[in-house]
Structure 1
Amino acid sequence: MALTTLALPLLRLLPAERAHELTIRALKTGLAPSRPPIDDPALATRLWQLNFPNPIGLAAGFDKNAEVPDAMLRWGVGFTEIGTVTPRPQAGNPLPRLFRLAEDQAVINRMGFNNEGLGIVAARLTARARKGIVGANLGKNRDAADATADYCRGVATLAPLADYLVINISSPNTPGLRDLQRRSEVGALIHAVVEARDAVRLDRAPPILLKIAPDLTRQEIDDIAEVALQSKIDGIIVSNTTVARPATLRSANAPEPGGLSGKPLFEPSTAVLAEIYRRTQGRIPLVGVGGVSSGEDAYAKIRAGASLVQLYSALVYQGPALIARIKRDLLVCLKRDGFSHVAEAVGSGAGRVVSGADRLGARDGA
């Protein structure tokens, strides 16, 4: 991610991870607006007793260690998500592990949940003024013998400090992690983390969301939808990065192992989003993430069933000015199709797979 249009070409001369480190350092030293912009009331979104000024958020992966959540909120996102954080500090996978695919407006990462651990992250969240919505994305340590215990520890530690919690069982960069999405595993995991949250006994218990992969089979989608409806999960984030490599990729970095994000992820992640919305009958709030790089992309996620939308990879190429453009163009999309408020558009296009011309289509059945 770059901070200004001028900085973008300079940062691209550096290795991707080094550029990211410098961006975090710049944000920590105050290179951000003094206050967030005032958003149009048509974008205000209320979920889980939380008031989001707009539905556009920053996805996990950018601010792994909760170093700059408030700086990012001042750039105008409606919420931000720190992490993924594991109970113990973790170095992650060997370098290099982050690759730009500029020709494809995409990124491949195999970071491996590198982070400073719950203790440091909790201390940073404790120190903030709690102005603006910050979620926490939780993972397990690579060598954990008991994955459920790791997630429960994360929930118990950060429940008093985060506005919502995310159980990340869909990163492709931790061996065996995606197996937790199986029906035989995910139901028990949800039950355990909900119990861990409720045991903290807070005046307001933070909602718990499940983050899933875009590479699920139809049976796996059915299973997750059914388990979600039967459990006390509060929401689902669709989706994480993909291990697929579309034939359309042009970059020399395309064969690198890891999770692919950015524009090539938009279509498959939006299709899974719409399918989850249909299978859960719109009864569980969804967060749409994957390939969002414009207001029309965000609108397509919303029409597919997302109450909130997240982005990250597009900021690498377009910088933080993209956030204001997305919100402005989203308002244009809503007005064009006759919606007076963003909540009215949620799920309006989920009756069919959102792709191609559907992304710009008029509202269905209105």
Structure 2
Amino acid sequence: MSFIVGLRNLLFKALYKLSRPLIFLMDPEEAHYMFKRVGVFLGSNFLTRFLTSLLFNYGHKSLKTSVDGIEYRNPLGLSAGFDKDGELTKIYPSIGFGLAELGSFTGEVCPGNPGKRLFRMVKSKSILVWYGLNNQGAEVISKRLKGVNFGKLKVGINAAKSNLTPEFDLQDSIDDYTKTMSLFKDIGDYYTINISCPNTQDGEPFVVKENLDALLKAVNAHRVEGRPIYVKLAADISIDEINTIVDACIEHQMDGVVLTNLAKPAHNKEYIESELPYHKGAMSGLPLQRISTNVIRHVYRRSRGKLTIIGVGGVFTAKDAYEKITSGASLLHMISTLIFDGPQNINEINRGLVKLLKADGFSSIEEAVGSRNPLPKLKSSQSQHTSKNAA
């Protein structure tokens, strides 16, 4: 069966490679909206979903994984930023995703940044994004998604702060996050608190511990039983800032972190500089790959595996995915591979993961998490302190 799926994937890979130059003649944002319309149509009825699944889906028992009490059919998810208004949930399982993170959603309607705001960097295998959190707002979207049966797809609700003014007000910002959480209290399987959008007017104020403490206290007050809460970190912050956020997440009993958001060109040299099309925005894909994996390794060790990690950035192959998993990630998010490699690559990554698990003697994703990133040994004083607490 795996051999037949492999042949099917090779065929679709060749077809996508032939059609990609034509697709890339389109404006990137127009192409995005075109494929969104196609996805809405394919998800609109049983027949088109079935046919799509027949052509693109793949499943295997070793890919099933349980994370924070939620059962996933596989660890591959769509990253926030693609389905900003939550319109494509019915088609995601048919192309092989186990989960999808919708949004970011903001408490208020956000038009996003003006002008051209999406750019391809083909040689760098990256998308430069300058969207600025455009979405219809949590009120409209939650009304549309209320009562929707997502089937075997697990859904994350990505909450961000409305990008309407360059002035930062702590309480207004907290109210914006918690408004989205309240409106989506009966929708989805987990929350992500996005404190890391690189394209907002007021920067990243929640790297300041006092601000973050206030936010996480409010977030905890809006917890829904059985629904984990994750915090999404930026790619371009310092190790000290990462440590501050990770320690606060542990202190406030967040369930995990999403690592990481997009990378700003000013802080990154892993792209072809002559290809940079715009002086603003942040990059997805290959330029983010090494950064996000390094942060995953650091956070897994810093938290001693206490925080669930969702890895994001530069996952194009099963090897890329497995590197993040064995570094400490339990789940993965991706977008860029859909654009550069085609939708069949999702199930090709899943198929490759099965082989890599088997080669290492693992029967599940859970067994592989962090397997190549051993946790540091506790110092004797720490060990004694832990033993006393346990007693």
- Give me the TM-score of the superposition, normalised by structure 1: 0.89
Q: How does 1:166-185 map to 2 (within 5 A)?
A: 166-185=192-211
Q: For 1:33 and 1:138, how far apart are their aligned partners in 2?
A: 28
* Distance of aligned partners of 1:154 and 1:90 in 2 relative to their CA distance in 1, 3 Å threshold: same
* Correspondent of 1:142 among 140, 163, 180: 163
Aligned residue in 1 for 2:379:
none
Asked whether the equivalents of residues 93 and 111 of structure 1 are also in contact (C-alpha less than 8 Å), the reply is yes
The alpha-carbon deviation at position 259 of structure 1 amounts to: 1.1
Q: Is the CA contact (8 Å cut-off) linking 1:125 and 1:162 kept in structure 2? A: no
**Larger CA deviation: 304-313 vs 37-46:** 37-46
Deviation, 1:38, is: 5.3
Give yes or no for the alignment of 1:239 onto 2:267.
Answer: no
The residue type paired with residue 29 of structure 1 is F
Confirm or deny: 8 A CA contact 2:263 2:287 kept in the other structure: no
1:65 CA displacement: 0.2
> Contact 1:75–1:320 at 8 Å: present in 2 too?
yes
Superposed CA deviations along residues 5-51 of structure 1, whole A, max 9, x for unmatched, are: 26533321101000000010111112764275452111101112211
Question: Counterparts of 1:8 and 1:137 in 2: how far apart (Å)?
Answer: 30
Per-residue Cα deviation, 1:81-105 (whole angstroms, up to 9, x for no partner): 1101111211100120100000111
CA contact (8 A) 2:156 2:189 kept: yes
Q: 1:280 aligned to 2:300? A: no
**Does the 8 Å contact 1:73/1:80 carry over to 2?**
no
For 2:342, the equivalent position in structure 1 comes to: 319
Between the aligned partners of 1:27 and 1:7, the Cα distance in structure 2 is 17
Q: Does 1:66 align with 2:86?
A: yes
> Which residue pairs with 1:27 in the alignment?
39
Distance in 1 separating the partners of 2:114 and 2:22: 25
Matched, 1:94 2:106: no
Task: Flag as ranges the 4+ runs of structure 1 deviating above 4 A.
Answer: none
User: Is structure 2 residue 312 aligned with structure 1 residue 308?
Assistant: no
Is the deviation greater in 118-127 or in 188-197? 118-127
Amino acid at match of 1:307: S
Q: Mean Cα displacement is larger for which, 26-35 or 98-107?
A: 26-35
Report what 1:338 is aligned to: 361
Corresponding residue number in structure 2 for 1:117? 137
Q: Which moved more, 1:219-228 or 1:267-276?
A: 219-228
Residue 147 of structure 2 contacts residue 187 of structure 2 at CA under 8 Å; is this kept in 1? no
Q: Distance in 2 between matches of 1:143 and 1:194?
A: 25
Q: Which residue of structure 2 aligns with residue 107 of structure 1?
A: 127
Cα offset, 1:250, TM superposition = 4.9
Uncovered stretches (5+) of structure 2, i.e. residues with no partner: 1-11, 376-391
Q: CA RMSD in A?
A: 2.0
Distance in 2 (CA, whole Å) between partners of 1:185 and 1:240 is 19
Mapped to 2, the partners of 1:177 and 1:156 lie a distance apart of 25
Please report how far the alpha carbon of residue 188 of structure 1 lies from its aligned counterpart in structure 2 after TM superposition: 1.8
Q: CA deviation at 1:119?
A: 1.9
Q: Aligned partner of 1:153: which letter?
A: K
Distance 1:51 1:230 in 2: 26
In the alignment, which residue of structure 1 is the partner of 2:242?
221
Q: Does 1:190 align with 2:211?
A: no
Structure 2 contact 120–128 (Cα < 8 Å) conserved: yes
Which letter does structure 2 place at the counterpart of 1:231? H
Larger % of helix: which? 2
Deviations along 1:120-157, one digit per CA (max 9) or x if unpaired, are 21122215223121111111112364110100101111
- Matches of 1:7 and 1:206 in 2, distance apart? 41
Distance 1:175 1:169 in 2: 13
1:212 corresponds to 2:224: no
Q: Which amino acid aligns with 1:311?
A: M
Q: Which residue of 1 aligns with 2:22?
A: 10
* Structure 1 SS opposite 2:164: coil
The 5 Å alignment of 1:48-67 reads 48-67=68-87
1:195 is matched by which residue type in structure 2?
A
* TM-score, length-scaled by structure 2: 0.84
State the Cα distance separating 1:190 from its structure 2 match.
1.1
Q: Name which of structure 1's ranges 94-103 and 212-221 shifts more when overlaid on structure 2.
A: 212-221
Alignment: residue pair count: 346
Greater gyration radius:
2
CA distance in 1, matches of 2:342, 2:271: 25
Partner of 1:81: 101
Secondary structure of the 1:339 match is coil
